[in-house]
Chain A
Amino acid sequence: MTAEPTADRLTGGVAQSVAIVAGLEIGGAALLRLFLLSEKTWIVVALLAVFGAAFAVLQLRPRLEERIATAFRQSRLVALLLGFAIVLVYPFLMQGSSYALHLLITAQLYAVLALALNFQLGSANIPNFATAASYGIGAYSSALLAINFGISVWLTLPVAAVVATVFGFVLGFPAMRTRDTYLALVTLAFGIVIHQLLNNFTWTGGPNGLAGIPAPTILGHSFNSPIYLLGYRLPSQANFYYLAAALVALAIVCARLLHHSRVGLAWNALRSNELAARCQGINVVWYKMLAFGVDAFLAAFAGSIYAFYVSYIAPDNFTFLVSVTIMTMVIVGGMDNTFGVIVGAFLLVLLPEKLRIFDDYRLLFVGVIVILFLLLRPQGLFPQRPRSFGDH
């Protein structure tokens, strides 16, 4: 927000705002649907071009971006209700394609992971290479509890989250002693130790992992069976789609609440200058450990749901490279920008899946994209917006 626009310009008409919000949300959903269901590569490339063009327009016309932001602020209720409705009816528009739903679930779980990491990397600038470890701890805790003790899925979720959070705090412990690169190394080492232990213990199934994780049931409805509603038949993936969507919503609420609280402010203070923050009386160690805890908490939820969704987990789902992928999502999307991080997660999950013709070159492609992004746009697609106080 460089120039202060006049109040008149800033507000515009409320009706116009509603129109902008509705247009953007429905248009975005429609484009995403086209992307998910397209079989041909040229459609994917064309959609990417549309995305790039829209992004370029926003870059060239910052006022347009401001207008959109104001529109969403003004008609927040409309935006929320419409978004909720879109998420709710989205599976019905997938033409019963279980593959599209599977992609959506994966993207949503990664969005949660990226949001979790964003508390650290984005808000507090703590490079954490162990998100995949928290993800894995959550998945394994839930799976082990459900398989060995037959505990209900809904009970294992909080237990797994608590277990992972404890691990998160343990990992945060060295945060008292180390910083920057060295802290990054500690988290990296932690992630590798967890992966190796999962790989070597017999009670975690070793490299073969755990199979036969029971699917959750709710009111007698198993998550493995399709949903029949009003004459429609949704594939069984739809169950997990809604579960993942609920988790994304929870993550967004957490992100917003924390961002606008003293905790979020303290994290931002840590990011800009740790020493100055300490001089202001901010308990640096506590807030760093808190960031680790929150990250692990959310990542564990994502892990649990992943475990129940695929019903089979192996250590190689939770490697160091997964952590790097999650980190890339945050960097590509934009540090400390909730919307940007979600876009980053969707892009990095969906793009490699849709560019199957480059199957052999996929890792190469992702690597090149990451480096290009870091070089050309290190602040990400959607950089953090300045905090605005007073009007919310």
Chain B
Amino acid sequence: MDLLLSQHLLNWLLQGSILALVALGFSLLFGVLNVIHFSHGDVSIVGPFVALAVMQILLVEILPHTWASALILAAIVAIVATGCLGVLVDWLVVRRFRTAPAMMALVATVALGAIIRELIRMLYPQGSNPQPFPELISAQLEFGKLSVPISTLFMFAVSVLMVAGLYVIMHRTPLGIRIRAVAQDRDIARLMGIHPNRIFAATFFIASAVGAIGGIFYASSAGVIRFDFGIQFGLIGFSAAVIGGLGSMHGAIIGSFVLAAIDTVAQATLADGAAYRLVFAFLLVILVLVLRPSGLFGKPILEKV
């Protein structure tokens, strides 16, 4: 196989898997709450910051020279903490807009995103500056001339596992059945003895925890993280979810890989393709919304008269 082509394919795989992790959160939250949680990107980007902080504390204070275990521990703490942040965000803000028009919730979560960014900037030491983020695994696999970073394969594997895990949770566990029941009809679910608020909290935890993994992968593939990366991260993940159809899990995954493919092709063929990535992503979003308003795999909107 052509060497350049394989590199592009690997790049595509990496981008698609990272995007899928954040797009899934958008889709899951929209499916259950019918609200666009616009600060999801910013919540997710808290993950790498927590991981970084925990790792620095661990390596300096408690367990020096134990790079691998510190990394794993930091990742776990970050994922759980971000999940809890998601629950907090729901409890403090999003919950209060359940009955308000969808637009109000949208504006509120945009404002919330700004608040989270500012908090990161103020609370993290030297938060205004970009922070270097370590590569998860720096080794490479050599196949003849082609060298494949293990971290790419690792991230892809984790994403596949996460998606599979989400699928199992949503379809095979009581919690998943409850989540889907609330998504389908909140009032009937309540009549069935399901506590919608608890389900919302659980959904926020899952979505934010998965987003945190995406955020950590994003940071480690970029090698650097800054407080305002959440905007772009959220926007691209969000467009992937829209292209696939908000509320549909496999739609979000396919949307992510479609978007990653467009990005990769643009970077490979155009001189300054990277600069135009958001343009292509959002033109595609407009096109999809106009041609198929509910996305490629979303539920069609029925209008009852």
Contact = CB atoms under 8 A, between A and B. Distances in A.
Interface string A266-293: 0000000001000000000000000000
Interface stretch (A26-34, A343-351, A368-376): A368-376
Interface residues of B, number: 41
B112 A367 contact: yes
Given A180-B102, A196-B276, A200-B275, A174 B289 contact: yes
A331 interface: yes
A53 B260 CA distance: 54
Interface in B281-305: 282-283, 285-286, 289-291, 293-294, 301, 303, 305
Contacts, number: 117
B161 interface: no
B103 interface: yes
Given A197-B279, A363-B118, A189 B108 contact: no
A317 interface: no
B141 interface: no
Interface string B87-123: 0000001001100111110111011101101110010
A131 interface: no
Given A182-B294, A185-B285, A127 B122 contact: no
Contacts of B101: 125
Contact of A374 (B107, B119, B290): B107
Interface residues of A, number: 40
Given A178-B289, A178-B290, A178-B293, A368 B272 contact: no
B111 A186 contact: no
A5 B118 CA distance: 50
A60 B175 CA distance: 48
A227 interface: no
A192 B111 contact: no
Given A196-B276, A371-B112, A360 B289 contact: no
A192 B235 contact: yes
A68 interface: no
B107 A324 contact: yes
A360 B122 contact: yes
Contacts of B290: 173-174, 177-178, 186
A175 B122 CA distance: 41
A208 to B, nearest CB: 14
Contacts of B239: 189
Nearest to A368: B115
Contacts of A185: 36, 242, 285, 289
Interface in B64-106: 93, 96-97, 100-104, 106
B278 interface: yes
Interface in A168-193: 173-174, 177-182, 184-186, 189-190, 192-193
A178 B107 CA distance: 19
A304 interface: no
A1 B239 CA distance: 45
A344 B86 CA distance: 31
A181 B102 CA distance: 7
A366 interface: yes
A378 interface: yes
A256 to B, nearest CB: 25
Contacts of A368: 111, 115
A327 interface: yes
B114 A367 contact: yes
A186 B286 contact: yes
A361 B121 CA distance: 10
Contacts of B111: 324, 328, 366-368, 370-371, 374
B108 A374 contact: yes
Contact of B115 (A125, A184, A328, A367): A367
B118 A192 contact: no
A57 interface: no
Contacts of A192: 235, 278, 282
Contacts of A180: 102-103
Contacts of B305: 275
Contacts of A189: 239, 282-283, 285-286, 289
8 contacts: A177-B290, A186-B289, A189-B282, A200-B275, A324-B107, A328-B111, A370-B111, A374-B97
Instruction: Kindly list the 6 A-B residue pairs having the minimum CB-CB distance in the complex, ordered from nearest.
Output: A189-B282, A367-B115, A370-B111, A364-B118, A367-B114, A367-B111
